[in-house]
Amino acid sequence: MFEVIFLQFLNGLDKGAAYALIALGLTLVFGTLGVVNFAHGALFMLGAFCAVLFRQLLTLETVTVDPTKLSPWGAPLEVREPLVQAWFGDFGAVLVNYSVPASIIITIPIMLLVGIGLERGIIKHFYKRPHAEQILVTFGLAIVAQELIKSFFGPNPIPQPMPSDLRGAADIGAFLGMQANVITYPIWRLVYFLFSFAIIAGVFAFLQFTTFGMVVRAGMADRETVGLLGINIDRRFTIMFGLAAVVAGMAGVMYTPILPPNYHIGMDFLVLSFVVVVVGGMGSLPGAVAAGFLLGILQSFASMTQVKSLIPGIDQIIIYLVAVVILLVLPRGLFGRRGVMES
C-alpha cells in the first residue's frame, strides 16, 4: 500500500511541477505589475513551440541522389543527410538527439523578447485599467498567439522525442533501498521535476539575494516610493515580465516530450494554473509553488482506480473542487496577503 501511495505521489510531481512553474510566472507578473495575465498560458505554448521550431531547424536535410545505389523498389537511392550532421559531425547527431533540452538556448532570448515586447507594446497601457479589462486584453492576445501558432504549425500535436539516454524508467524503489521493480518512474519526468525545482530555486534566489531582486521586491511592496527614490522601477518591472515569460517558456519546452504540444495546450494549462494561483493566494510566490505541487499530487491521487470507484468522476473535477472549497473557506488562498485583490 505504501508503494502505491508513494508512486502516486511521484506521478503528481511532474504535473505539479508544470503547474507550479506556470503559476510562478503568473504570480510574478501579478505581484510586480498588478496585471492579471490571461496570455500566460500562451507564453507556455510559445515556449513549447520554440522546441518544435528548434528541432525542425536541426532536422533540415539535404537530399542527394546516389545513382550508384538503388533503393528496394529500383529507383535511385535518395540519401538524406541532416545539415547539422554534415557541418558538425557527431556533435550534430548529439544535438539532434538532445534537441529538447538544447532548445532552451533559443527559448530564453525568444521568450525574453516576446515578454518585453508584449509588456512595452500593450500591457503597460493597462496598469491603471480595471482588472476585467486586463483579463480581456490578455485573453485576446492569447487567442492571437495561439492562432498564429496554428497557422504556422498546423492544428495537430507535434510529438517531440526525448533524448535517447533519458528514455525508459528509473527504479526509484531500488534506489531508496526498497524492493526492486515496484516503484519505477520515467526518467524524463524526474528530469522535469528537478529542472523545475532548479528554476523555482533560481527565481527565488534571484529575488532574494541580488540587488535587482531586492529593488523588485521593494517595488512590489510600494511602487511609488521606490520610484520616488530615483529608481527606474518601470524598466525593472518590464524585465520581470520578460523573466516570467522565460519561466513559462522553459516550462513549456521541457514539457514537450511528456505532452506533444498543440496550439491550445496553453489555454488548457492556463485555466488550471489560474486556479492554482488563486488557491495559493494571489500575489504569493511560495503559495503558487506550494499550490501547484499540492494540486498536481491531489490530481494524481484522484485518478487512482480505488478512489475513482469510490467517488466516480472525482479525477475530472478534483482541482476545481479544491479551488472552490479553499476560496470559500480561506478567502485569500493558502498564503495570500492581506489587501491583495480585495477591492
Partner 1 sequence: MRAMSRNDLLLFLGFTLVVLAMPLWLQPFGAAYPDLLQRFMIFGIFAVGFNILFGLTGYLSFGHAAFFGVGSYAAVWSFKLLSLDAIPAMLFAIVVSGLFALLIGYVSLRRSGIYFSILTLAFAQMSYNLAYSVLTPITNGETGLQLTLNDPRYLDAAMGSAQAGQPVPTLLGQSLGGFAGFYFCAGFLILAFFIAQRITNSPFGMMLKGIKSNQTRMNYTGFNTKPYTLAAFVISGMYAGLAGALLAVTDPLAGAERMQWTASGEVVLMTILGGAGTLVGPVIGAWLIKYFENIFSAINDTMLHRFWGFLPEGADNVMVAITSKFVGEGWFLTLGLVFVLIVVFLPGGIMEGVRRIAHLFNRQRKSPDRPASQVQPAE
**Residue number with CB closer to partner 1 (25 or 173):** 25
Q: Shortest approach of partner 1 to residue 130 CB, angstroms?
A: 8
Strands 184-186 and 169-171: antiparallel
Give the SS3 label for residue 169. Answer: strand
**Residue number with CB closer to partner 1 (66 or 147):** 147
Radius of gyration of the chain from Cα atoms? Answer: 22
Q: Shortest approach of partner 1 to residue 277 CB, angstroms?
A: 9
**Residue number with CB closer to partner 1 (63 or 329):** 329
b/e for 6-15, b at 16 or more Cβ within 10 A?
Answer: bbbebbbbbb
Sole binder of partner 1 in the list 57, 144, 180, 330 (CB under 8 A): 144
Q: Is 65 in the site for partner 1 (CB under 8 A)?
A: no
Cα distance between residue 330 and residue 326, in whole Å:
5
Cα distance between residue 322 and residue 342, in whole Å:
21
Segment (H or E) for 82:
strand 76-82
Pull the grid cell for residue 300. 494524481
Q: Is 120 in the site for partner 1 (CB under 8 A)?
A: no
Q: Is 140 in the site for partner 1 (CB under 8 A)?
A: yes
Q: Shortest approach of partner 1 to residue 106 CB, angstroms?
A: 23
Q: Is 343 in the site for partner 1 (CB under 8 A)?
A: yes
Sole binder of partner 1 in the list 188, 269, 274, 335 (CB under 8 A): 274
Cα distance between residue 242 and residue 112, in whole Å:
5
Contact of 246 with 112, CB cutoff 8 Å? yes
Contact residues for partner 1, defined by CB under 8 A: 36, 122, 125, 129, 131-133, 135-137, 139-144, 147-148, 150-151, 155, 267, 271, 274-275, 278, 282, 312-313, 316-317, 320-321, 323-324, 327-328, 331, 341-343
